[in-house]
Amino acid sequence: MIFEFDEDQRLWQATVREAVAKECPPALVRGVVDEGVDPGPLWRAYVRHGWTELTGSGEAVELAIVLEELGRATDPTPYLATMTQFAPFFPEAVEKGVSGTAVFEGVTARRDGDGWTLDGTARHVLDGDRADRLAVVTGEGVFTVPAARVTATREQVFDPLLHVAEVSFTGVRVTADDRSAADLEGARHRALAGLALTMVGACQRILDLTLEHVRTRHQFGVPIGSFQAVKHKAADMHVAIERARALAYYAALTIAADDPRRRLAASMAKAAAGECQSLVFQSGFQLFGGMGYTWENDLQFALKRAKAGELLLGGAAEHRALIAEEYA
């Protein structure tokens, strides 16, 4: 195995990093939260950069690079939901710049003439209040439904950047033309890997901010980063991120290669990202001292993004149970 970016991938990473710095700077993210700035133009910038064209599973590593960088920038658009929850089912729409998400549970499909009728209410749907289209997972298959045909309400959550919604379906008619031919399990792996990569990016951001803080914050006449107690926490954060990143990219790589190990790899990625955020959240927050406890410090966005990831699509303990089952 050559577990390192090839030359094209390194170039892609540099390109993405540069574009993210320009398009999605911390000031913009802050503006979205504090002043209600519309992230719409940012989404259109991603479309212009071609990032919404990375819908094929063969491009999973290239997409992973974008997802990690956007996790690091605490991206305020529905990119993650669109690319890792909707696109695996309905790639053509996304390639045209349409946003989307998935409703994984809570909706039933009833056979109705030559089609089906969808009913039910789903909670905590990522970006369910602002995605153009929904991929609705039911016992009869996965159907695409335009947002206009459902009732979606953004729910109040602790993370001010996160959009989660309650989505209700009342007698929504769908036909065979609306049904996805994609493999549901494979799509789930892509959703898990996507969330894991986002969390890795957010954890890296926490470490970046923490390092900057401990290098510049002086106490007892020296930077606090010169104290061994601080150094060793920072080193542990770095190791946890490296481990989680390795497993997240491994998941992307097995998805790209359509390798049977992707099932195990996706759970390992999600579990490792979960373990990573636990340590990085705790140490990063702690090392920031009181300054990390304020609204005006951007650390909060990365902390909340990292922890939110753990709470969605199954946490570390749940995925460890799957790993043990899969591996035994």
Partner 1 sequence: MKLTFDPDVEAFRAEFAAFLAEHAPAAEEAAERPRSSSHIPEWARRWQRLLFEEGWLLPANPPEFGGRNASLLQQYVHLEELAKRKIYHSFNPQGLGIIAASLLSFGTEEQKHRWAVPILRAEITAALGMSEPGAGSDLASLRTRADLQGDHFVVNGQKVWTSGAHDADFILAFVRTDPDAPKHKGISVLIVPTDLPGVNRRPFGSLVGPDDLDFNEVFFEDVKVPAENLVGALNDGWRVANGSLGHERNMLWLHFATRLEEQIRDFQPATVLDRDWYATLVMDAQALRLMGSAALARASRGEQDVAALSVLKLFGSEATQKAAERMLDAHGAEGLYPTPTGPQAPLNLDVFITGWFERYARSFGGTIAGGTSEIQRTVIAERVLGLPRG
226 binds partner 1 (CB under 8 A): yes
Nearest approach in angstroms of CB 173 to partner 1 is: 43
- What length is written for the chain? 328
Only segment of 131-139, 218-226, 289-297, 298-306 that touches partner 1 (CB under 8 A): 218-226
Please identify which residue in 183, 235, 282, 294 interacts with partner 1, judged by CB under 8 A: 235
Q: What is the end-to-end Cα distance of the chain in Å, rounded?
A: 23
Stretch touching partner 1 by CB under 8 A, among 152-160, 161-169, 220-228, 283-291: 220-228
**What is d(CA 310, CA 305) in angstroms, rounded to the nearest whole number?**
9
Distance (Å, rounded) from C-alpha 181 to C-alpha 178? Answer: 10
Residue from 108, 242, 282, 289 touching partner 1 (CB under 8 A): that is: 242
Burial degree of 154 (CB within 10 A; 0-12, 13-18, 19+): middle
On whether the CB atoms of residues 64 and 189 are closer than 8 A, the answer is no
CB 82 within 8 Å of CB 66: no
Under the binding rule (CB under 8 A), the answer on residue 272 touching partner 1 is yes
Residues touching partner 1: how many (CB under 8 A)?
48
Contact present, 131 and 86 (Cβ < 8 Å): yes
Residue keyed to tokens 């939901």: 81
Which is closer to partner 1, CB of 156 or CB of 219? 219
Q: How many CA atoms lie within 13 A of 321 on its CB side?
A: 4
Q: What is the 3-state secondary structure (H, E, C) of 27-46?
A: HHHHHHHHHCCCCHHHHHHH
Q: Show the binding pattern over residues 284-303: x = contacts partner 1 (CB under 8 A), - = does not.
A: --------------------
**Closest to partner 1 by CB, 148 or 222:** 222
> Within 13 Å of residue 126, how many CA atoms lie on the same side as its CB?
26
Q: Are 215 and 221 in contact (CB under 8 A)?
A: no
170 or 226: CB nearest partner 1: 226
157 is a site residue for partner 1 (CB under 8 A):
no
In the complex with partner 1, the residue whose CB is nearer, 110 or 215, is: 215
Q: Of 268, 299, 308, 313, which lies in the binding site for partner 1, with binding defined by CB under 8 A?
A: 268
Q: Is 231 in the site for partner 1 (CB under 8 A)?
A: yes
Among 247, 266, 287, 313, binds partner 1 (CB under 8 A): 247
- State which of residues 42, 162, 193, 230 lies at the interface with partner 1 (CB under 8 A): 230
Q: Which of positions 185-204 make contact with partner 1 (CB under 8 A)?
A: none
Instruction: Please give the structure tokens belonging to residue 177.
Output: 């033309």
**Residue 246 interacting with partner 1 (CB under 8 A):** yes
- Beta-carbon contacts of residue 158 (< 8 Å; ≥ 6 apart): 304
Shortest Å, Cβ 61 to partner 1: 5
Given candidates 37, 168, 227, 279, which one binds partner 1 under the rule CB under 8 A?
227
Do 192 and 298 form a contact (C-beta atoms < 8 A)? no
Residues that bind partner 1 (CB under 8 A): 1-6, 9, 61, 207, 211, 214-215, 222-223, 225-228, 230-232, 234-236, 238-239, 242-243, 246-247, 249-250, 253-254, 257, 259, 268, 271-272, 317, 319-321, 323-325, 327-328
